[in-house]
Amino acid sequence: MTGATNFLHCDSPDGVCHLCGDEAVIGRVLDIDPGTRTGSVAMPGGTATVALDLVDASVGDDVLVHLGFAIERVTRI
């Protein structure tokens, strides 16, 4: 992934980076690093490190992820 946020990475086993797509994807926050305001997020196809700067998320929350950033906390129905 290119850009200023080079700390973000995707370790998807299927080789598809859900961080870089044109769509936002819902994932669940697994853990948070308060020092960098990033979190491990379980997403379709694998786990990704996501920036949490734009949302007030906690472990266990579902977030909408677009381009490596959690952009909203969501409730699944």
Q: Which two tokens stand for residue 32?
A: 């948070």
Domains present along the chain, CATH in parentheses: 1-77 (2.30.30.140)
Q: In this predicted structure, what is the pLDDT of residue 55?
A: 96
The 10s digit of each residue's pLDDT in 4-42 is: 344 455 566 666 665 566 788 999 999 999 999 999 999
The 10s digit of each residue's pLDDT in 34-65 is: 999 999 999 988 999 999 999 999 999 999 99
To which residue do tokens 């859900």 refer?
A: 18
- Of 67, 62, 66, the closest CA to residue 77 belongs to 62
**The residue type at 25:** V
Is residue 72 left, alpha or beta, with left meaning phi > 0 and alpha meaning psi from -120 to 50? beta
Q: In this predicted structure, what is the pLDDT of residue 16?
A: 61
| DSSP label at residue 10 | B
Q: In this predicted structure, what is the pLDDT of residue 77?
A: 77
Better-predicted residue by pLDDT, 59 or 77:
59
